[in-house]
A and B are shown apart, each in its own frame.
Chain A
């Protein structure tokens, strides 16, 4: 079919090499429309070019920003996990807390449900030639709830505060090796440049809503967020009672236009079951996050809707590469080959999950190289590998956490391992005992020869490729050291265009299948439950919940 390229060509002359390469990849048919849009959003390709491509190839399936269509003026009642401590954007690290931050605060960039980045407080962004400096243009006329106007000074102060090792910042692990204090620089009142520690093709994700600590605060923030709740978002605080709940009212000065609900009310719960019962009993409209275990009743309930987001949330089953019994990669591969992944996903998640292929590359990421074959259960091959090592089997303890489906998954591993003569004993601990001090030598997580750990969703695989798998990585429970791997990851992180990312991803995936330091059997979906009739609620896979377009009709 003849494509009307003439419409796009004049616009392409304004683009840099990175942007033009992406357009070429799409026009050549090597990128699906979905992945093209995601990648275009990362490198800040938007507006006229996307519009021209849309005109040439037909409209896109999904709008960039969800339109508010429901009944205005309703009260939205949400059940959620109790915030575990003080609400402070610098330190918060739990789902209840990050949900509170995001009710009043906003990010430079919003990582949408399908991993496309949308403008929030930044209207556009672009990398330099090698992706080592990213420049963001800020939205003009944005006001904090206190009345102060947002400027580049606020952005610089916020990001510097989070990148400062002296500040107990929970974002420090995201910025490690990416962005250092002092390297966020004001160009003018509405332009900020980030000078990165190394070239990074996915940098916008690191300061997007994905980095839940990165809500933009006034430059003079004093650490007293629970007193001021000063953000730029669609809702202002009405009342916050620690351990009990919170309520919010619309911000009439919000830059984004009309806020649909008259009020939002959050009730805090320490457990999922009472939230499920409250939803069924009509006392709340939304449960911000449900996991399949214990919420099976909701999945088939005709009065309940489930919002499902494909995510990268997963469990890592690490096998220590430096000590027996898993110091031979053939034994690690044999172990991974015993798992019947489709059956595991059906049993644990009712199928609401993607399969993992023993690398952090979840199917949801555009950079994942899907030409690498999926690992399947193969007991004959596993037995052959064991025989090749000369092992008739052994016994080993699998240490893990008492958390969600993890004990059930551990039992499935235990049963599967029997097939090749490996006797798995289970040691299931409370979460804090499992993590211990979370440093090598004082943590069952990092010290156990065979362990299973929970990992949340991330918008890009970068952090998951580095900390748990690179030599000297601070979460490297598998004690995996492989210089070839380290080099590939550095290349992947620096790659700015998607085809390079995919090519390197293919090499990483193949290397990890060969070495198998960690079993990644599944990446399960993020689920939010609502009462039928609730519209416009927009959760994200890291447990945020955007309610400005919500209605409880």
Chain B
């Protein structure tokens, strides 16, 4: 079994590296299609063409595209993510700081939404067809369709401006402790919880209902096991498998896709970092940002798959296959 895990892990890692490499190629090729050039973006549309040419030369973006890409990937293999064209300093500190911030926000959002939505989904399934089920399902569905920019502004207006109990900006002051940081992270986490709750709860509900109707559950009930024990031992284990996968796929969104929430709450996460890098045609920053989010996503699915095995060891042989 142990060697099975090792082989599985090695295979997954090499596949992941291949995926990241292909991703870097796609990003680079896509970057070539964006209009304009970085010198023009930095200096603005009204700058003199001679100044633009001089800056492009200084930044090295007047070299052939393939030379630029090879130079960048060569640096990456030596552990150097390159230098930002716009900020003219190494990209690694930018990405590192943004990633830490994004992970913190994602963690707070997960801590709230995972127990809430799984609990909600399981309760809805156990009370399927009742008013409780309908309330949870309908509420989840309604919340999911509220766009982040609406829920974010409602949160800011309600807690930040009218009640004044939570900060408006998610950026905590320098030297803030964990509790203070948490207080700053709750407002931006709320819109994320609102969006995620319905989706995860629906998955948990469907999985639970399926497990409740499965033969092994009927057998367990017929054996005379108490209902609570049946739910705990047989239903939840099987019901939560698809839910774990869904949560893992949401990681990429929560870490890299929060441009609106980051903008409204003035939070310098990796989502807005990638967006501004793309706008500025800042290729090393863009590659670094996207590959980092890609790596987080791959890591999360890896963990989810491993968790799935732990919850249901019958899946293990599939790994070695």
Contact = CB atoms under 8 A, between A and B. Distances in A.
A170 B41 contact: no
A264 to B, nearest CB: 16
Contact of A91 (B35, B42, B160, B272): B42
B37 interface: yes
B161 A84 contact: no
Given A91-B42, A173-B46, A273 B268 contact: no
Contacts of B264: 271, 273-274, 277
Nearest to B34: A432
A475 B268 CA distance: 35
Contacts of A274: 156, 168-169, 263-266
Interface in B72-100: 86-89, 94
A282 B164 CA distance: 10
Place the interface of chain B in its size category: 35 or more
Interface stretch (A6-14, A134-142, A370-378, A435-443): A435-443
B267 to A, nearest CB: 10
Interface in A334-383: none
A176 B51 CA distance: 11
Interface in A285-301: none
A187 B59 CA distance: 37
A281 interface: yes
Contacts of A54: none
Nearest to A279: B168
B54 A168 contact: yes
B47 A93 contact: yes
B36 A432 contact: yes
A439 B168 CA distance: 42
Given A167-B54, A172-B47, A281-B160, A243 B36 contact: no
A85 B87 contact: yes
Contact of B47 (A88, A173, A226, A244): A173
A475 B44 CA distance: 12
B249 interface: no
B136 to A, nearest CB: 32
Contacts of B89: 86, 226, 242
Interface of B: 34-37, 39-52, 54-55, 58, 86-89, 94, 153, 156-157, 160-161, 164, 167-169, 171, 263-266, 268, 272-273, 276, 279-280
30 contacts: A84-B42, A85-B86, A86-B87, A86-B89, A165-B54, A168-B55, A169-B51, A170-B43, A173-B51, A243-B268, A243-B273, A244-B171, A269-B263, A269-B266, A270-B263, A273-B153, A274-B169, A274-B266, A281-B160, A281-B168, A283-B167, A432-B35, A432-B279, A433-B35, A435-B45, A436-B35, A436-B36, A437-B37, A438-B40, A438-B49
Given A168-B58, A435-B36, A439-B49, 11 more contacts: A82-B276, A86-B88, A165-B50, A167-B54, A168-B39, A170-B43, A268-B266, A274-B264, A281-B160, A282-B164, A438-B46
The 8 closest A-B pairs by CB, nearest first: A168-B55, A85-B86, A172-B48, A93-B44, A435-B45, A165-B50, A168-B54, A86-B88
Interface of A: 82, 84-86, 88, 91, 93-94, 165-170, 172-173, 176, 226, 242-244, 267-271, 273-274, 277-278, 280-283, 432-433, 435-439, 445, 467, 474-475
